[in-house]
């Protein structure tokens, strides 16, 4: 295959699919990328889903092949518009517990996409277990009595997820049970929903 690309024998090839090509090693995939670049093949779509793009023969995580791919993407005159990288272990592999979750591969790819010669219109990255930098805290599912939060436990209330906080405030009969004390201090109580959705710091200061 590499000889065909290097010898420029596939001038009309526009789509190359290696989907589920588990028989290809990371090293072989990288060799194909180099051959495509050297042969100036005018690919429009490259499908690499479910390949060993980021996994070595020993099951270790590596971005070597991703770097070769990105060098190809940054080559002047490349025509690649669509890139399918689904399920290529870009963020790590369960076989390599030492590396764990990593954004190294994503970082290399992002640098290439921002390059002047990058012509990408569509990149598929699903099935790579990509996480948000700051994932939203999931609401607790504990029964309300187990929180043991009373009317004066402001800091503990503020630490709760807004959805849980809303339920706890309802169990404390907010705002009815707090209205008299608020009137004595000349305070106007916010609505139940507004109070529950306050930032933790604002709620404590209030």
Q: Is the pLDDT of residue 22 over 60?
A: yes
- Residue 45's nearest CA partner among 21, 17, 15 is 15
**How far is residue 31's CA from residue 39's CA, in Å, rounded to a whole number?**
12
Which residue has 């518009």 as its token pair? 81
Question: How does 77-100 read in b/e, with b if 16+ C-beta sit within 10 Å?
Answer: ebebeebbbbbbbbbbbeebeeee
- Residue range 70-97, pLDDT digits in tens: 999 888 888 889 999 999 999 998 888 7
Sign of CA dihedral 16, 17, 23, 28: positive
Instruction: Give me the pLDDT at residue 84, please.
Output: 96
- The pTM of the full predicted model, rounded to 2 decimals, is 0.61
Alpha helices, H only, the chain: 2-6, 26-38, 64-73, 104-113, 154-158, 162-171, 179-184, 192-196, 200-205
User: Which domains are seen in the chain, by residue range?
Assistant: 2-124 (3.80.10.10), 144-205 (no CATH)
Peptide bond into 93 cis (omega under 30): no
What is the 8-class DSSP label of residue 48? -
- Residue range 158-179, pLDDT digits in tens: 888 888 888 888 888 888 888 8
């Amino acid at each position: 295959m590499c000889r065909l690309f290097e010898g420029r024998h596939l001038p009309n090839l526009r789509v190359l699919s290696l989907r589920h090509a588990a028989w290809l090693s990371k090293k072989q995939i990288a060799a194909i990328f180099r051959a495509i670049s050297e042969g100036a093949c005018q690919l429009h779509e490259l499908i690499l889903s479910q390949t060993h793009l980021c996994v070595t023969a020993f099951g270790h995580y590596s971005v070597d092949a991703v770097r070769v791919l990105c060098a190809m993407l940054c080559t002047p005159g490349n025509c690649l518009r669509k890139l399918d990288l689904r399920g290529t272990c870009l963020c790590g592999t369960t076989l390599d517990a030492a590396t764990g979750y990593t954004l190294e591969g994503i970082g290399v790819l992002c640098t290439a996409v921002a390059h002047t010669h990058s012509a990408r219109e569509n990149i598929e990255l699903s099935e790579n277990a990509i996480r948000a930098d700051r994932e939203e805290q999931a609401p607790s599912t504990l029964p309300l009595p187990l929180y043991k939060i009373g009317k004066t436990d402001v800091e503990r209330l503020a630490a709760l997820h807004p959805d849980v906080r809303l339920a706890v405030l309802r169990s404390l009969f907010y705002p009815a049970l707090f209205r008299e004390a608020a009137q004595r201090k000349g305070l106007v109580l916010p609505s139940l929903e507004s109070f529950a959705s306050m930032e933790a710091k604002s709620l404590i200061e209030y």
